């Protein structure tokens, strides 16, 4: 039985992959001890081609059976899996197992690649060698991809046809990078050629009444067709009702509107007039009396279509003759509309007929079949690339899947970490890719981590993504929705970041200690503000009332009433009682403290701090101990099998707070600091007066005061009895 070794971090025991034997025996390791059971192929910082090779079912997830299948595949082709532990993507040829059919074939293909690259004497192959297919197949005619370039053919005539196919339907790059054609494009070309020839052969005398000049006649017709139809329709309306002739020929006002313009034959307002004067059943003049804007087009129509179809000397066109011309050219219109094989029309009918009569179609098909027959052989070259990608990346995946060792190494980086968020004088490196912030937060909240969801935007390109940053050190109150920062991805690119959602949880014991005091201060401050606001409102109301009374008295001739002596005395007495209560409270505290040793006073102060901050710190300590990355990863699509706790020490590693560099000089003088000396003196005087009043009320100053100012009575104070 294989002897495994485990390591403990943050209370979790995980398997340690020490060598190739550990990797080869992973199928024997109980899956309950695997840290993850599946991970997504999206949102992880890992070679995407390797993930595609591992994801054999194409479901976008890497699962345990696929990991184990990759290991079994490697075991059949390598002498030892120890080479997977070596850094880099290069592989010594001696590491390939020649004793297995799979290893023997792979070694032969590796040597073939090196030979094609001119490295016959090399004893190792790299991923760059295997991935450079353009160089590997540069000097080969056939490479098994079913695409043949022009130089794959020996016959110049076949090469010419391949070039014509590429020109007509676009190139397809083969493995060598050369432009070529596949069977699908070759079939499309020859089908288009046949269709175009068949279409041309359908043009008989009925379709081409003027032979090669039929196309010109049709073009001339189409240039004036709409305008001629307009003219004959107007004349037929005039025949229907004589009153229509005048308005349909345009009114005097229409002609008058042209009088102020610089008229030319190309003016749109002139072209909008009818072709000729409108009269009932009038023939269309072809030479004289034609709208100047259409005279050139009508002349071309007469020369190309009317005279060839109706006879020379036609000076006008009746409606019946117009219909006759359209009928004679209608078969050509239908034939032209049914044109097929436009892609190859540019080659011309003669060249297409030559291609159809030759052997190019069969020979190109034979070349493509010959190339495709090597698919199985040349596909083995892909196995070399697959082996090298596994060699370069598989151990990294295992250390983020079977165990999470890279998560806990300061010099390593887990594949799910996508960058670093700089915000609030902190750098948070535990950042995750997120598709839906709301859905992610609903699951990730169970991790008891403070999470800041940020929308990041790449300056310039406008590319936008969403990331989730786990904040594990500092204070949470300085983070809020809308706060801006900068995010650096793993490639060093900077993104603008703004918080769009917060999941609030405890961050640090320091914050927990001061949080109750901050709440007490906020409560006292709120009450003081409320009291001062109430006093201010009452004072303003009283002042307004007195002003109104004074105004009323002035109007009535009566002077305002003065405050009576009893009211003034009661106010002064109330003020004295308030000051006395404050002084008594302070005096009581001083009296109690004055009778105790210094260590008891310190213990009392410490007890106050513990009573106020202790429960918050203890509760936060338990919460911080319960922080877990697993729910965050599960929300990202991982199937994390075990808890991934974050200790206080690890939390400081994931979120680093700002600190001055070592041996940095600090200038403490602030030239722009507010001058608080007067305020500080007033506060000192007030505190001294309050302390003195407290000592006096407690009777602690009787020994140094004259008899008239002493607080204690004569029966309890011998010194005061002496005074009497």
Pairwise CA distance, residues 551 & 541, whole Å: 15
Q: Which of 394, 386, 371 is nearest to 102 (CA)?
A: 386
With a cut of 60, say whether residue 560 has pLDDT above it.
Answer: no
Q: Which pLDDT value is given to residue 409? A: 81
**Mean pLDDT score of the chain, rounded to an integer?**
84
Is the pLDDT at 716 greater than 60? The verdict is no
CA distance 670 to 680: 18
% of the chain with per-residue pLDDT over 90:
42
Is residue 441 scored above 90 in pLDDT? yes
Question: In the predicted model, is pLDDT for residue 546 greater than 90?
Answer: no
For residues 206-210, give the mean pLDDT.
89
Strands (DSSP E) found in 572-704: 639-640, 655-657
Q: Rounded to an integer, what distance in angstroms lies between the CA atom of residue 562 and that of residue 546?
A: 11
Residues 6+ apart with CB under 8 A from 678: none
Q: Any alpha helices (H) in 101-182, and if so which ranges?
A: 101-116, 127-131, 133-136, 156-169
Q: What is the pLDDT of residue 496?
A: 95
Q: In the numeric block, which tokens belong to residue 455?
A: 């929308």
Residue 630 pLDDT class (50, 70, 90 cuts): very high
pLDDT in tens, 456-467: 999 888 899 999
**Sign of the CA dihedral running 277, 280, 285, 288:** negative
Contact 134, 177 (CB under 8 A): yes
Q: Would you say 74 and 436 are in contact if contact means Cβ atoms under 8 Å apart?
A: no
- Cα dihedral: 156, 157, 159, 161 (round 10): 160
**What tokens appear for 24 in the block?**
């080869």
pLDDT in tens, 98-118: 999 999 989 988 988 888 788
What is the length of the chain?
724
Residue 486 pLDDT class (50, 70, 90 cuts): very high
Q: Does 259 have pLDDT greater than 70?
A: yes
Assign 675 a pLDDT band (cuts: 50, 70, 90). confident
Residue found by looking up tokens 């109330």 in the block: 574
Exposed, middle or buried by CB within 10 Å (0-12, 13-18, 19+), for 315? exposed
CA 544 from centre of chain: 61
**Model confidence at 481: pLDDT above 90:** yes
Q: How far apart are the first and last CA of the chain?
A: 102
Q: For residue 411, what are its two tokens?
A: 């010099």
The tokens for 441 are 């937060």
Helices (H) and strands (E) in the chain, counts: 26, 20
Model pLDDT, residue 572: 44
pLDDT of 85 higher than 60: yes
pLDDT exceeds cutoff 60 at 235: yes
pLDDT of residue 575: 44
| Among 21-25, 172-176, 377-381, 398-402, the least confident range | 377-381
pLDDT, residue 151, reads 83
Distance CA 192, CA 102 (A): 45
Neighbours of 610 (CB within 10 A): 12
Rounded-to-integer distance, Cα 332 and Cα 328, Å: 8
Domain segments of the chain: what residues? Answer: 6-137+376-407, 211-340, 685-723
Fill in the DSSP letter of residue 244. Answer: G
Please say if the pLDDT value at position 683 is more than 60: yes
Q: Does residue 103 or residue 614 have the better pLDDT?
A: 103
Question: pLDDT by residue (tens digit) across 527-537?
Answer: 767 877 777 78
Identify the H or E element spanning 92. strand 91-92
Instruction: Look at residue 183 and tell me whether its pLDDT is greater than 80.
Output: yes
Alpha helices in 665-717 (DSSP H): 677-697
| Banded model confidence at residue 564, pLDDT cuts 50, 70, 90 | very low
Highest mean pLDDT, choosing among 93-107, 139-153, 175-189: 93-107
Q: Which band of pLDDT confidence, cut at 50, 70 and 90, is reported for residue 559? A: low
> CB-based contacts of 28: which residues, under 8 Å, 6+ apart?
2
Q: What is the mean pLDDT of residues 144-164?
A: 87
pLDDT band at 188 (very low <50, low <70, confident <90, very high): very high
For residue 512, which of 540, 464, 477, 479 has the smallest C-alpha distance?
Answer: 477
Nearest alpha carbon to residue 66 among 50, 82, 81 = 50
| pLDDT tens, residue by residue, 303-314 | 999 999 998 888
Q: What is the pLDDT of residue 570?
A: 46
Sign of CA dihedral 36, 39, 44, 45: positive
Hey, is 78 helix, strand or coil? strand
288 φ/ψ sector (left φ>0, alpha ψ -120 to 50, else beta): beta
Alpha-carbon span 33 to 437, nearest angstrom: 30
CA–CA dist 391, 385 (Å, integer): 10
* Interatomic CA distance for residues 6 and 14, integer angstroms: 5
Q: Supply the pLDDT for residue 568.
A: 44
Q: State the pLDDT at residue 605.
A: 67
Cβ neighbours, 10 Å, residue 325: 19
Model confidence band, residue 190 (pLDDT cutoffs 50, 70, 90)? very high
Quote the pLDDT of residue 638: 94
Is the pLDDT confidence value at 573 over 80?
no
Write down the pLDDT at residue 493: 92
Residue 134 pLDDT more than 80? no
- The one-character DSSP state at 482 is T
Q: Cβ distance 414 to 633 under 8 Å? A: no
Rg (the chain; Cα; Å):
48
| Statement: residue 567 has pLDDT above 50 | no
**Cross-strand bridge partners of residue 38:** 63, 639
pLDDT tens string 377-411: 666 778 898 999 999 999 999 999 999 988 888 77
724 pLDDT above the threshold of 70: no
Question: Per-residue pLDDT tens for 87-98?
Answer: 888 999 999 999
Element (H or E) spanning 246, and its range?
helix 245-248
3-class SS of residue 598? helix
What span, in angstroms and rounded, lies between the C-alpha atoms of 50 and 385?
Answer: 10
Q: Which of 409, 494, 487, 425 minimizes the C-alpha distance to 453? A: 487
Query: In sequence order, which ranges of 28-173 are alpha helices (DSSP H)?
Result: 48-54, 64-75, 101-116, 127-131, 133-136, 156-169
- Nearest CA-CA partner of 416 in 628, 633, 635: 633
CA distances to 401, 570, 616 from 38, rounded to whole Å, are 8, 81, 38
């Amino acid at each position: 039985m294989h002897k495994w070794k485990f390591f403990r971090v943050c209370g979790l025991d995980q398997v340690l992959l020490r060598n190739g034997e550990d990797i080869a025996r992973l199928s024997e390791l109980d899956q309950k001890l695997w840290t993850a059971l599946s991970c997504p192929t999206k949102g992880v910082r890992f070679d995407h081609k390797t993930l595609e090779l591992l994801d054999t079912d194409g479901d976008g997830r890497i699962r345990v059976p696929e990991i184990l299948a990759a290991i079994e595949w490697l075991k059949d082709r390598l002498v030892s899996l120890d080479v997977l532990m070596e850094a880099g993507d290069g592989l010594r040829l001696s590491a390939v197992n020649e004793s297995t059919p799979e290893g023997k074939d792979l070694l032969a293909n590796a040597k073939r690649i090196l030979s094609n690259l001119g490295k016959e004497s090399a004893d190792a192959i790299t991923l760059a060698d295997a991935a450079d297919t353009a160089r590997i197949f540069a000097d080969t005619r056939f490479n098994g991809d079913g695409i043949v370039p022009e130089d794959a053919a020996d016959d110049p005539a076949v090469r010419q046809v391949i070039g014509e196919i590429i020109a007509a339907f676009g190139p397809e790059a083969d493995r060598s990078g050369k432009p070529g054609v596949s069977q699908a494009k070759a079939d499309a070309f020859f089908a288009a050629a046949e269709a175009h020839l068949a279409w041309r052969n359908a043009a008989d005398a009925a379709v081409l009444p003027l032979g090669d000049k039929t196309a010109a006649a049709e073009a001339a017709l189409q240039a004036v067709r709409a305008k001629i139809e307009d003219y004959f329709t107007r004349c037929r309306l005039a025949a229907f009702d004589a009153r229509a002739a005048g308005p349909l020929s345009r009114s005097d006002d229409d002609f008058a509107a042209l009088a102020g313009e610089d008229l030319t034959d190309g003016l749109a307002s002139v072209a909008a007039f009818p072709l000729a004067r409108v009269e009932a059943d009038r023939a269309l003049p072809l030479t004289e009396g034609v709208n100047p804007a259409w005279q050139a087009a009508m002349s071309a129509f007469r020369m190309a279509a009317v005279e060839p179809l109706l006879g020379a000397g036609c000076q006008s066109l009746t409606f019946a003759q117009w219909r006759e011309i359209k009928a004679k050219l209608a078969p050509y219109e239908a034939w032209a509309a049914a044109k097929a094989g436009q892609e190859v029309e540019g080659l011309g009918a003669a060249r297409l007929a030559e291609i159809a009569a030759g052997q190019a179609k069969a020979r190109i098909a034979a070349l493509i079949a010959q190339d495709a027959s090597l698919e199985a052989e040349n596909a083995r070259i892909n196995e070399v690339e697959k082996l090298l990608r596994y060699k370069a990346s598989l151990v990294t995946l295992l250390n983020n899947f079977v165990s999470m060792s890279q998560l806990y190494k300061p010099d390593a980086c887990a594949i799910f970490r996508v960058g670093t968020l700089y915000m609030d004088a902190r750098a948070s490196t535990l950042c995750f890719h997120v598709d839906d912030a709301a859905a992610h937060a609903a699951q990730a909240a169970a991790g008891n981590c403070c999470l800041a969801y940020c929308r990041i935007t790449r300056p310039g390109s406008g590319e936008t993504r969403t990331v989730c940053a786990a904040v594990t050190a500092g204070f949470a109150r300085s983070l809020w929705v809308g706060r801006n920062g900068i995010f650096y991805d793993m490639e060093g690119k900077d993104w603008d970041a703004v918080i769009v959602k917060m999941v609030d949880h405890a961050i640090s014991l320091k914050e927990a200690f001061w949080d109750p005091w901050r709440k007490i201060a906020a409560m006292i401050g709120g009450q003081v503000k409320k009291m001062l606001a109430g006093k201010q409102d009452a004072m303003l109301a009283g002042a307004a009332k007195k002003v109104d009374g004074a105004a009323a008295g002035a109007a009535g001739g009566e002077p305002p009433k003065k405050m009576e002596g009893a009211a003034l005395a009661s106010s002064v007495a109330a003020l004295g009682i308030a000051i006395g209560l404050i002084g008594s409270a302070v005096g009581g505290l001083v009296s109690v403290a004055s009778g105790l040793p210094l260590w008891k006073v310190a213990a009392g102060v410490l007890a106050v701090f513990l009573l106020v901050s202790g429960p918050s710190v203890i509760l936060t300590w338990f919460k911080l101990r319960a922080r877990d990355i697993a729910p965050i990863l599960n929300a990202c699509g991982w199937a994390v099998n075990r808890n991934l706790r974050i200790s206080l020490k690890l939390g400081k590693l994931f979120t680093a707070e700002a600190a001055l560099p070592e041996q940095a000089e600090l200038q403490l003088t602030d030239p722009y600091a507010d001058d608080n000396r007067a305020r500080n003196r007033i506060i000192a005087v007030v505190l001294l007066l309050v302390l003195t009043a407290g000592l006096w009320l407690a009777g602690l100053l009787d020994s140094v005061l004259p008899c008239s100012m002493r607080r204690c009575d004569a029966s309890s104070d011998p010194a005061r009895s002496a005074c009497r």
